[in-house]
Structure 1
C-alpha cells in the first residue's frame, strides 16, 4: 500500500487514509462481480447485495477523500506530486460515478443490468488505475531517492 504522507501532514490523518483507502476497492469490486453474476443467474439477491456493497463502499470512500482533500489541496506549502493529485481526482470521479450507480441499483433488479454493470466496471477501472499509477510513480521516486 502506498502512503500519501508528506512532511506537513498529520500522522493520524495519514494513518486513516492508509487504513481506509484500499477498502472501497474491495467493496466496489465485489459489487461489480455480483452484477456480473446477476447477468448470468437472474437471481435478484445478487443485485440487492451489490447495491449494499456500493453503499458501504461509498460510506468508506468519502472519508479518505475528505482527508486527502485537506492534505493535498488546502494549506500545504509542500508541493504534492502529480501522481497524488491524479489519484485524488480519479478517486473523486469514481465516487461520483458510484453515487449514480447507487441510484441505478435502487431501481428494479431487471433495470439495473446495462447501466449498473457499466458504471460498476468504470468505477473499478478508475480506482485500479488511480492506485496503480500512484504506486508505480511513488516506487519510481523512491528508487531514484536511493
Structure 2
C-alpha cells in the first residue's frame, strides 16, 4: 500500500491562464506610458492642446489596463507558494508598483488647465517610463539567465 497522498490533477499543475493573461496585458501599459511621454514632450514644445489631452487619455488608459497584470503579479509574487519567487521578480513588482504610483500622480497633473501641467507632466512621465523600463530589462535578463541555466 502506497503512503503517497493522491493529489487532484488541478493542484499538481499551476494555472496556465493567469500567466498567459499577464504576458498578454503587461506590455500594454508600458506602451501607453511611453506614448504619454511622447505626447507630453510634443505638448511642451508645440503648446497644442490636442497633445496634452491625448497624453491625459493615454496615461489614464495605461493605469486602467495596468490593474489586471499587477493583480496577477501580486498573486504570483506574494501569495502563491508553489515555487520559489526570485529576488528579481520581487524587484520587478516593486518597480512596477512605483511606476504606477507616479503615473497616478501624473494623471492628476494632467487634470490641470492647459499649460499649467508643464513641466511636471514630462518629469513624471520620464520617471514612470524609466521605472518600468528598468523592471522590463531586469525581467528580460532574468529570463535569459533562466534559459541559459536550463540549456546547461
1:1-146 to 2 correspondences below 5 Å: 9-146=14-151
Superposed CA deviations along residues 43-68 of structure 1, whole A, max 9, x for unmatched, are: 01101000000000000111100111
Measure how far apart 1:75 and its partner are.
3.3
Inter-partner Cα distance in structure 1 for 2:13 and 2:99? 27
C-alpha contact 1:9 1:71 (8 A) present in aligned 2: no
Higher relative contact order (CA 8 A, sep 6+): 1
Aligned length: 140
* Stretches of structure 2 lacking an aligned partner (at least 5 in a row): 1-11
User: In structure 2, do the counterparts of structure 1 residues 75 and 133 end up closer, same or farther at CA, with 3 Å as the change threshold?
Assistant: closer
Measure how far apart 1:137 and its partner are.
1.7
Superposed CA deviations along residues 81-132 of structure 1, whole A, max 9, x for unmatched, are: 1111111110011111110000000111211111110000000111111001
Measure how far apart 1:27 and its partner are.
0.4
Helix, strand or coil: the match of 1:122? helix
Greater Rg over alpha carbons, structure: 2
Helix, strand or coil: the match of 1:107? coil
* Stretches of structure 1 lacking an aligned partner (at least 5 in a row): 1-6
